[in-house]
Every structure is written in C-alpha cells, then in structure tokens.
Amino acid sequence: MDNQITKKNYLKYILAIALPVSIQSLFQSSLSVIDQIMVGSLGETSISAVGLGGKYPSVFFFTLASISVGAAILISQFRGKSDKINVSKAFTLCIKWGLMLTSIFFIVAFFFSTSIMSIYTFDSSVISIGSQYLKILTIGFFPGFLTIMLSTLLRNTGKAKQPMVASIVSVIINTLLNYILIFGHLGLPALGVAGAAIATTITRFIEFFVVLFFFIVHQAKDEYKINFKIRSEFAFMKTAFLIILPLFLSEFLWSVGENVYSIIYGHIGTSEMAAMTLITPVVMLSIGLFFGIYQSTSILVGNQLGKKDYDMAYFLGKKSMKIGLVGTTIIGLFVISFSKLYPQLFLVSDSTKQTTTLLLIAFAVVLWIKVSNMVLGGILKSGGKTKYVFYMDLLGTWFIGVPLGLIASSVFRFPIVLVYLIIAFEELVRLIIGLKLFKSKIWIQSI
C-alpha cells in the first residue's frame, strides 16, 4: 500500500495502520483497567500490591518490546527494498534472541518474587500479596513475547487488523475470568488478587493462540513468507545487533528507571502509591491511544527510507508529530474534565481520591510531551539511529529524572504530585534534544 503514498493522501495510509494498532493498544491497556477496577473493591493494600507486582512484568514487556521494534525496523526497510530473504532473517533472529531473554526474566521473577517486591515497599502485606501476583504473571511471559513478535510481523505486512481482533477477544475473556476468579463465581472460590493474576495469564495464552492462527493463515499466501530454517550470516547478525542493542539497553534502562520512580512513590506512602497505581490505567489508555501513530510512523517512514525516498520520510515524520500534538491536547482536556469522577470508582480513602485527581491533572499537562517523545523515538529508530534514542533515554531517566525524584522525595519531602511533575521535567529535556535531531535529518539513511 505504501507504493502509492503521496503528500496529499498520506493521512489515510497513516490511519490505516494507526487505527487498528491504537484500538489493539487500548484493549491491551484495558486489561489493567479491568484489573484495577475489580481489585479496587478489595482496598488500598490490594491496589498497591497489584500496582507494584506489575512493575517487574512492565520491565520485561518494555525491554522485550525493543526486540520487536528492532525487527520492525529491519523488516520495514527490507520490505521497502523487496528483500524477502532478509525479512525472514530479521524475524527469526529476533525471535531467537527474544526467547533467550524471556527465559532469564522468567527465572528471576518466578524464583525471587518476594525479594523483588521487597525492593518496592516496606509494607509486609503488600509484599506478600504482590509476590504471589508477580509469580503467577511470569507464566505468561513466553506467550506474551511471542504475541508481540507475531503482531509486529502482521502489522509490517499490512495486516494490522488481525492483532486488534486478538486483543478484543482477550479483553472479553479477561473480564469474564476476572469476575469469576477474583470474586468467586460459578462455584469457584474467591481468589482476590491471585485471581486477577490467573485471569491475566490465561488471557495471554489465548491471545497468543489467536494471533498464531492469523499468522499461520496469512503465511500460506504471503509473498514474504517466513522461512524459519534460514540462517543469518555473521555480517547480518552484526548489523541487527548494532541496531537492537541500543534499543534493548534503552528500553531496559528506561523501564528500570520507571521502576525506580515507583520505588520513590512507594516509599512516600502506601496511600500515595495506591493513587499512582490508580492513574496507571488512565496513563496506559491515553498513551496507548497514540501508540498507533508511533507504529504507523515507524513502518511507513522505514519503508520510504528503504526506497531512499528521503523527502517523503521526513514529510511523514513531521506530519505524524503534528497529529500527535493535536490529539494529546484533546485527550489531555478530556482527562482533566473527568479527573474528579474517576477516583470514585474505587473503594479508597478520600485523601487517596484527592491525590488521584491531582495526579491525573498533572499527567494531562505533560501528556503531549510524552507522546511527542514516543513518536520522535519511532522516527529516529526507523533510520537505524537507535543509539541516539539510547543516549536520550539514558540522559533523561538516569541523569535528570531519577536524581531529581530522589532529591524531591527524600531531601525536600515534597508531596507526590509535585515529585511527579519534577520527574516529568526529564521528558521535556528529551523532547528538545529529539526535535533537534529530527530537524538535523541525521537519522535519514537506508540500512
């Protein structure tokens, strides 16, 4: 479809990928919303346990997503060149690397879940409930990673609707399982937080099998059919490694940094951490709404770079950022307007509800910066300039965000809303750097 893209019809090509991906992302994010709403009736300790218990899996999924991003960069450019052999090499190589990393993450979380939870909080009740929640979630790591990889391939081959269908199915099933397992219906015992974890894990397996079905069906007639027996020579692996390594380090260090932020919030107090946990679904839904723009930009810009149509690649990048800016302004206002109503869904104290409202407003204020950074990152990555994204994330998270957060919370003991805004300053710094890199066009290259 990208063969006919022009400066007049670009929007329909962006939306053709962006809308299904955004819908899929919204449904995936709604899994956590459903968990939070249902677990929210169990009290602040359970809410905090689910929030903190899900932090390590977030490190896993964000880090392993870097492998799929690397695969997408390679596949989009090779498809732009009509290079079928290297499309297979890129996909199979990334699958192998990802499964090895998944094994490491699984072993650490499954056998040391209590130790991991102890890093986030001193509350023994939260540690006990959260460690059980975490251990169950780790079982879904393997199907979760494979779903990400298969969905990436389907999107890059013009089949963005199929992963969306799989996500819709998974959300429906997860909702039903949550209702049954958390509260105890159909003759089953009420399992509480553990029930939420079991429901999520079962759902990950079901989603994987649905996506696998679509993959098998389309592989039978796809001109870019994946050959799993093909081997990658050293030169190819080196090229892929140099692109994926900065992505891996970037996502890993960024997600670990996000976990450090959670540790900072968790040590402010259980009530404050409960408020941060409550806004997480809104954050994920809001950013997930624009994940499609990020994906479509990366794919389409990558295709144009592969064809060496550099002018169109720059044009698409610029237009995508404008779409993101307008969209985040609208969503930000929507979040602010419902910031007082949302906390009323949960069985928490009035002070926690008030803190949740203020955090939602703070998030809405910085949403446009977060999404702009996401889209910019996709553009820079599409040209293989992943090391620049790594440097930006390293600087923002570890040289600005983490130090400022620790000083604001531990030294000055600011309230959590102010700490959140101070930490968000690093996003603004990364945006300024990212815009300069984009305008310099240093990212424009064919792999």
What are the tens digits of pLDDT across the range 160-195?
788 888 888 888 898 899 889 998 888 888 888 899
Please report which confidence band the pLDDT of residue 210 belongs to, taking 50, 70 and 90 as the band edges: very high
Model confidence pLDDT, tens digit, residues 91-145: 899 999 999 999 999 999 999 999 999 888 788 888 999 999 999 999 999 999 9
For the entire predicted model, the pTM comes to 0.73
Q: What is residue 122's predicted lDDT score, i.e. its pLDDT? A: 81
Q: Domain map of the chain by residue range?
A: 2-440
Q: What is residue 2's predicted lDDT score, i.e. its pLDDT? A: 45
Q: Identify the top-confidence range among 15-19, 68-72, 269-273, 324-328.
A: 324-328
End-to-end Cα, the chain, rounded Å: 21
Q: What is residue 28's predicted lDDT score, i.e. its pLDDT? A: 67
Residue 222 has pLDDT above 90, yes or no: no
Q: What is residue 30's predicted lDDT score, i.e. its pLDDT? A: 66
Model confidence pLDDT, tens digit, residues 246-301: 888 888 888 888 878 878 887 888 788 788 888 887 888 888 888 888 878 888 88
